[in-house]
């Protein structure tokens, strides 16, 4: 008999624009984002400390838009 409990998957919270780790996207995360604005030297593994959210090598408007998608969301 199968033990259904073994199929339980634990999901880690994932909010890529939560830079300060408080599980919400707020003004503090924008403040943490700004120092990296327009950097073009982002690469694996840290992607400019995660600010290059779409991992294209630079911190630009596309990353800011992704940050905006999570605006005021919390886990």
Chain residues in the site for Ca ion (CB under 5 A): 18, 20, 22, 29, 52, 54, 56, 63
Nearer to Ca ion, 29 or 33 (CB): 29
Task: Report the C-alpha gap between 23 and 75 in whole angstroms.
Answer: 5
Nearer to Ca ion, 3 or 12 (CB): 12
Q: How far is the CB of 2 from Ca ion (least distance, A)?
A: 40
Q: How far is the CB of 17 from Ca ion (least distance, A)?
A: 8
Task: Report the C-alpha gap between 30 and 27 in whole angstroms.
Answer: 5
Residue count of the chain, please give it.
Answer: 75
Q: How far is the CB of 46 from Ca ion (least distance, A)?
A: 13
């Amino acid at each position: 008999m199968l033990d259904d409990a073994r199929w339980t998957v634990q999901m880690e919270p994932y909010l890529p624009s939560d830079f300060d780790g408080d599980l919400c996207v707020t003004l503090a995360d924008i403040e943490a984002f700004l120092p990296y604005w327009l950097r073009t030297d982002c690469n694996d593994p840290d992607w400019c400390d995660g600010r290059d959210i779409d991992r294209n090598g630079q911190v630009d408007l596309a990353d800011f838009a992704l940050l905006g998608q999570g605006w005021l969301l919390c886990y």
